[in-house]
Structure 1
């Protein structure tokens, strides 16, 4: 099972501390504990980057709860973790500079390649099998849908929700690609630091304001429109309700 870490920095008057806390997104039963560990240490959260990801997992890969792995990690794990941290985000927004409290949902260029419709609510368990790339694309589209719906539901709270495409980079994320796929992928990649720039831009740039809430950042720090159908309020509502039903046993 994949493991991830919460990484966050704490700035005080004259020192910085980098702290790591365990977060296993592939097991919904463990996410509440990770959130509680963070909340036991901190009373504010200025920026949350939902960054962890699995990509083109082998057919049949599942989470601890039996969900398709990419939906479980890329969508539901982040959704549940954000659910627990929403109160501290809202509390921080009341005291932090305007537009500075944000939730960043890291998506991908793959979101634009998701099938139409992007979410097939009749096949969320993939009893009708799909290829590994459509599955990944659907999970990345799900990140955009979560971001837009979170923006709608927190409107007026001071939180800015942004989805983004960090760009294409070679990392261990491509470990499940074939050699030929990886060789072709490398033709369209840039240095990983550019992805960091895109994420930092979304998280801390003063040019992003409440008017960009629910918006989209493309490489390497450009605000623009996301795929239009992913921003549909009715799709966001249905996706949110499905997600809530999956996480309810773990609240």
Structure 2
């Protein structure tokens, strides 16, 4: 590894602290899935630094509540809601059409589904791979011209942030059947494949757009209790060691605001100006994964340039970009 990129922040730094002293006036950011969880805290921190933040989500009632909450402390335009269903390619295209050519400075692909029963998107993809990766892949490509315009307007690179997870250790991409059409479905393997894809997307996007003014990085936010666990019964969370027998959350889990800090650092950190293709965690470049620390680090398959190119070609075909 080249000299590792770090920051003054750490594992439990609140997102507000990451943007303290940062002026995002005149900047526009889109955060997907920002109506709840770490997404709303990511949006809140950016809005408190002066950015105009677009909450791109699929539930207008939750979106409206998030906008109202963020607006209480925003310093500038605040937040607004835009409808976006990442499990529906038509919804993604409609969102991009509405956006048009307006400059965009930050795109944070935060939304996700985790460990759900076998289900399919409107376009027939397996739900986790289709929503977490393919939906964001199409969104990022359709908004790439807006990110390029944002870089020209600001005179500095725009940033794309792709939320991955330590869950990527559970699976590389299954090139023979990524959508579970012929093989048996396993929810955690599926989640791992999708999170590997999120990291590889950052590698591929940065390679293609770094010379056009856009840098992309992947982020591991950490363990946080949010609506992401909606498909996991309490007993399963206890078996995983996330929740103790008395119902309390085990040590090491972050609050949603702490969980948003690495996404926010990826969006604004001066250490990452023009830097991309990395996997970040705890407000620093992740170190290689080891068996001694199984819940931290990054495995080689999630940063492999050849796999990133292969996934890019597959994804272009799948979502109809070719």
Q: Shared fold (TM-score greater than 0.5)?
A: yes
Matching of residue 154 in structure 1 with residue 209 in structure 2: yes
TM-score by length of structure 1 reads 0.87
What is the distance in 1 between the residues matched to 2:259 and 2:33? Answer: 18
- Give me the CA root mean square deviation: 2.2
**What secondary structure, in the 3-state scheme, does the structure 2 residue paired with 1:95 have?**
helix
User: In structure 2, what is the equivalent of residue 214 of structure 1?
Assistant: 277
**What secondary structure, in the 3-state scheme, does the structure 2 residue paired with 1:199 have?**
helix
Aligned counterpart for 1:10 among listed residues 29, 52, 60:
52
What is the distance in 1 between the residues matched to 2:211 and 2:262? Answer: 25
**What secondary structure, in the 3-state scheme, does the structure 2 residue paired with 1:20 have?**
strand
User: In structure 1, what is the equivalent of residue 174 of structure 2?
Assistant: 120
Matching of residue 79 in structure 1 with residue 137 in structure 2: yes
TM-score by length of structure 2 reads 0.69
Residues 95-141 of structure 1: per-residue CA shift (max 9 Å, x gap):
32434x10000111111x233xx011101221111321111011001
**What secondary structure, in the 3-state scheme, does the structure 2 residue paired with 1:102 have?**
strand
What is the distance in 1 between the residues matched to 2:197 and 2:140? Answer: 14
What is the distance in 2 between the residues matched to 1:144 and 1:30? Answer: 23
Matching of residue 57 in structure 1 with residue 113 in structure 2: no
Matching of residue 170 in structure 1 with residue 242 in structure 2: no
**What secondary structure, in the 3-state scheme, does the structure 1 residue paired with 2:123 have?**
coil
In the TM superposition, what is the alpha-carbon distance from 1:227 to its structure 2 partner? 2.4
- Is the Cα–Cα contact under 8 Å of residues 47 and 103 in structure 1 kept in the other structure? yes
In the TM superposition, what is the alpha-carbon distance from 1:92 to its structure 2 partner? 1.6
User: In structure 2, what is the equivalent of residue 88 of structure 1?
Assistant: 146
Aligned counterpart for 1:196 among listed residues 238, 260, 263:
260
Aligned length: 237
Gaps of 5+ in 2: 1-31, 36-42, 54-74, 244-249, 288-297
Which stretch shows the higher mean deviation, 183-192 or 142-151?
183-192
Runs of 4 or more above 3 Å deviation: 3-9
User: In structure 1, what is the equivalent of residue 188 of structure 2?
Assistant: 133
